Homo-oligomer: A and B are copies of this chain.
Amino acid sequence: MARRLIGLSVAMLLAGAAFPSAAETPKRAEVAATVEQQHDATIKALQDWVALPTIAAEKRNTPAGAEYMMQLARDAGFQQAKIIPTDGVPAVFATLDAGAPTTLGIYFMYDVKQYDPAEWSSPPLEGKLVDRPGEGTAIVGRGVVNQKGPQMAFLAALKAIQASGRKLPVNLVLVAEGEEEVASTHFDQVVAVPEVQAALAKTIGVFIPSAAQSKDGSANITLGAKGAVEFQLIVSGEATDKYPKTDIHSSNYARIESPVWRLVKALDTLVADDGYTPAIDGWFENVKPLTERQKQLIAEGAKLNPEAGEKTALGVGRWINDEDYVTSLERFYSQPTVNIQGIVAGYDGPGGKTVLPSRAEAKLEFRLVPAMTKAEVVSKLKAHLTKRGFDDVEVVISGGYGPNETEEDALLIRAQKRLFEETGVPYSIRPRNAGSWPGVVFNGAPLNLPASQFGLGRGGGAHAPNEWFLIDSTDPKVYGLDQVTMAYVDYLYVIAQEAAR
């Protein structure tokens, strides 16, 4: 089930066909030629977008990034595009009416992760094309895979279809936010705008363009994603006179309480002594165990992504508790977590410094699985701390959302399966993405829509230095920019055809 190779497609791959075709895309060769003609312009457009990083955590290029996003949508044929203000960074709402019977929802994020140029081998905002040995030519820049590259390929697909005067096979509703990297703090406000909600309600579901092809050319269909809630725990002399207002000489710790120790004591109660099992009161109450089908999908997926490569890529030699690969993958997809992203407390320079710090902050994030909700875990965290007397530990919820889950028989998913099968892309089905995206905004009430990630192509370094996205691939099984673009073209036609069945 999970790994399929259609005979015809294998033959095409062996013949080195640049564009494995979905038979149903009309005048496909003409569109493909347009995509090739657009190639340089699409790269230039991606580079220009990379040069304008929106980083919500740093209040950088907000709202400039929203204006830019709005213009990108208009340039791609959306007849209507507007800024939707929020209490945080503004979002963009756009619609493209093709007069089609079917309407598809698209989710974009126009923000990117923070970066430190010193850690990069080429400037993170330049989007340089560099040789990637054994793979081809890649663009290197912040956001090229997460998510500007795949999104730009999707926009290029829209342009290519329309370039010949044709209409799209589906209508589109686009919502683009600028706070994905800070856990979509205000995205629920966007979807709650009546006009946006009404437009989304007419869609058959919402997908986010992504690039997750493996080096061997295999792809994934994901049936949901964990939720993520980011928060900080702060203990500080600003909040209570138990602790000093500024760092003071550490000899005073003999008579004055330490906000750092207080934070350590509070943190300690959140996770069991094994260092990974959450210990917040009632944490597992609503956690749904994996179904037999989900376990089956995980076991099949394990065969497609060999353990050794995974360990090398992650820089580890062991999984939690020295578990075997499949067990660790079940844990990966099924376990809700309480991660510490970082701790900021006191002296952080070389060696030591004899201070009693005045402030301690831990940055954490929950990852949630069905049927947990953001409201539930925030409430449980606060109750847990209060019950243990940690009233002086400030809880700052900086963003987040619950998990999302879409059925295998949803139109969005069926279309992906059909496309992969018809174009000969081997794929596995993941029961869930262990990472997060705010699909719950579409997937949950009141919209209750299917929500998925879709896209071919390949990249890496999301949230890390030297983020890359493959532009020209030397391996015909792995898609470069133009093939990725054509996969979006095909996806739109397959969706239209599946909807008409």
Residues of chain A having any CB pair with chain B under 8 Å: 56-58, 113-114, 181-183, 226, 228, 230-232, 237, 241-258, 260-262, 264-265, 267-268, 271, 273, 275-276, 314-320, 323, 328-329, 331-333, 335, 337, 339-358, 360, 363-365, 367, 398-399, 433-436, 462-464
Q: How far is the CB of A487 from chain B (nearest CB, A)?
A: 24
Contact A342 B340 (CB under 8 A): no
Q: How far is the CB of A113 from chain B (nearest CB, A)?
A: 7
Give me the 10 closest cross-chain CB pairs, A-B, nearest first.
A241-B317, A342-B346, A342-B347, A57-B351, A245-B315, A251-B434, A261-B275, A230-B352, A268-B268, A255-B332
Q: How far is the CB of A349 from chain B (nearest CB, A)?
A: 6
Contact B346 A340 (CB under 8 A): yes
Contact B337 A256 (CB under 8 A): no
Give the number of times this chain occurs in the complex, counting copies.
2
Contact B367 A363 (CB under 8 A): no
**17 additional contacts (CB under 8 A) given A255-B329, A342-B347, A353-B463:** A182-B351, A183-B352, A230-B352, A232-B352, A243-B316, A249-B462, A250-B339, A250-B365, A254-B335, A255-B323, A258-B275, A260-B340, A262-B275, A339-B354, A342-B348, A346-B363, A351-B398
| Chain B residues, Cβ within 8 Å of A250 | 337, 339, 341, 365, 367
**Interface of chain A, helix or strand or loop or mixed?**
mixed
Q: How far is the CB of A433 from chain B (nearest CB, A)?
A: 8
| Chain B residues, Cβ within 8 Å of A243 | 316
Contact A315 B237 (CB under 8 A): yes
Determine the residue in chain B with the shortest Cβ distance to A369: B254
- Assembled-state Cα–Cα distance A243/B265 (Å): 23
User: With A271-B261, A314-B248, A332-B255 in contact, do A341 and B347 touch (Cβ < 8 Å)?
Assistant: yes
| Chain B residues, Cβ within 8 Å of A226 | 251
9 CB < 8 A contacts A-B: A57-B349, A230-B351, A253-B367, A258-B276, A264-B268, A341-B354, A342-B355, A351-B363, A353-B363
| Chain B residues, Cβ within 8 Å of A256 | 314, 316, 319-320
- Assembled-state Cα–Cα distance A340/B357 (Å): 8
| Chain B residues, Cβ within 8 Å of A317 | 241-242
